[in-house]
Amino acid sequence: MSSRRLPLLVAFCVLLVGVAAVLAVAALPGHRRVPARAVVPAELPGYSHLTADLATNPVGAALALYRQGLGVELADVPQALLVGADGGSARRLTLALDRGAADTQGDPAPMLLSPDGRTVVLGDWSSGPVPGSATAGSSDLALVDLATGAARVHVVPRVPGVVPVAWSPDGAKVAYLGTEEPTTPFTSAPGQLYVFDVAARRAAAVAGGERVVAAAFSPDGSRLAFQAPGAQVLRVVELATGAATELPVPAGTTLVDGPAWSPDGRLIAVSEGGQRLRFVPTAPGGQVPAPVPGSGGVLGWTSPEVVVHPAVAEGEDGAGGDFRVVRSDLRTGVTSPFFRVPTTGGEFAVGEVSLATALLPEALTVPGVAVDRGPWPLELRVGVVLGAALLAVPATVGLRRRVRELHALTAVPDWARDPSRG
């Protein structure tokens, strides 16, 4: 064999062995045991390019789902992150990014984690025509099974945008908005309210819900509260009969999506200017707790009196820009930390947060757990193998040069080999 071809042969062998190993590891299914009680560490896993994909490394059940990253810089590519019920396993939900609109800087599609943490529902932003199509949007919902990583896509009534806003507490239904106006992670628009029946795999429009901005299921899933833009009432509809009632809300407040309804059915949370939460009694003359500071959303309840919600953002002298979630006791008014997500000083912002609400009452809070991000993403491992193969060429050339120099230094001179010259 020509000595010039040796480096190429070595590089080819490195590449062949490396790619075979990478593909073999990537093909191995990943399965994790779901703990009996969800674990909530003081700090959840933050942004990392080394996080494995859920599709090949399922978590079984998740505690939290959130978007991290803004997509405005090369290294700040948005991620949809799932944190397992063990509090430490982190996985990327790549399908959410694949369904994101092309003009939203790479943000994931609208997404919500189910109450039991075993399913994620994905919608579609309405941000413009689909490339190669005369219509906008794709009008379907995707349900991702976190035990297997597999997704089922269900066609729903044709609308440009499909934005999930609430799961029913038993996970049997998903409320979503069918939006005609452009809707992205940075803008919102009212839409027709639909309820998707997971078992029957069909969606139906909610009577009176033609222009809705937010919705929340009652604890038993039989009723749905929703609000029109600027309305000072909540409309509450019995899903079985279509009968409706109205609840007045304080001026300037808006219903918060998702688990806004308290577990005992007494209160519904509304947001006042995105700075504090107020509460509306569902029965006339019901006792109303004092407002609590909060950034506007409700992520769940640990009891009928304790609400879980994002904290009001702090300044530069606060927690370094970390995303913080707190618990507020409505009886005492005391707010305590629940968990935080590191943002590297605010560089990797957090949004689109949803929690496994059914797991929160029995969740075990701990100071911290070891983070498991799974095997490196396939594209990163392939890149490492290609880099090693490219480095093998100059390394082999350099090694052969050193061997020749060593031979030259240790070689016996010609005069020493001729006895007649001795």
Local structure of 389: helix, strand or coil:
helix
Question: Is 188 in the same domain as 297?
Answer: yes
- The reply to whether 398 and 350 lie within a common domain is no
**Averaged confidence pLDDT in the chain:** 82
Helix axes 378-410, 6-27, angle to 10 degrees: 150
pLDDT tens for 92-118 read 999 999 988 766 667 899 999 999 999
Query: Is residue 156 predicted with pLDDT exceeding 80?
Result: yes
Question: Of 70, 43, 52, which Cα lies nearest the Cα of 375?
Answer: 52
For residue 60, is it within any domain?
A: yes
Tell me what pLDDT residue 415 has. 53
Q: Is residue 414 one of the residues assigned to a domain?
A: no
Rg of the chain (C-alpha set): 28
Residue 417 lies in a domain: no
Residues 316 and 388 in one domain: no
At 404, give phi and psi (nearest 5°).
-65, -40
For residue 55, tell me if it sits in a domain: yes
Q: Rounded to whole angstroms, how far apart are CA atoms 422 and 113?
A: 90
pLDDT in tens, 334-356: 999 999 999 987 678 898 999 99
- In a shared domain, residues 66 and 184: yes
Domain range for 18? 1-30+377-409
Q: Report the domain count for the chain.
A: 2
* pLDDT (0 to 100) of residue 284: 85
CATH number, domain containing residue 206: 2.130.10.10
Is pLDDT at 379 greater than 80 in this prediction? no
| Pair (381, 330) in one structural domain | no
| Cα gap 20→22, rounded to integer Å | 6
pLDDT digits (tens, 9 = 90+) for 236-266: 999 999 999 999 999 999 999 889 999 999 9
Within-domain flag for 420: no
Question: Both 123 and 64 in a single domain?
Answer: yes
In the block, residue with structure tokens 């992205």: 184
* Same-domain status, 78 and 150: yes
> Do 10 and 88 share a domain, yes or no?
no
Percent of the chain whose predicted confidence (pLDDT) is above 90: 57
Helices (H), 211-314: none
- Whether the Cβ atoms of residue 272 and residue 256 lie closer than 8 Å to each other: no
Is residue 416 in some structural domain? no
Residues 391, 272 within the same domain: no
First to last CA, the chain: 39
Answer whether residue 257 is part of any domain. Answer: yes
- Rounded average pLDDT over 122-135: 60
> So what's the pLDDT on residue 414?
57
One domain for residues 192 and 112: yes
Please give the C-alpha separations between residue 296 and each of 12, 190, 364, in angstroms, as whole numbers. Answer: 57, 18, 25
Q: Are residues 15 and 77 in the same domain?
A: no
Is 390 inside a domain boundary?
A: yes
Residues 368 and 399 in one domain: no
Out of 156-160, 182-186, 235-239, 407-411, pick the least confident: 407-411
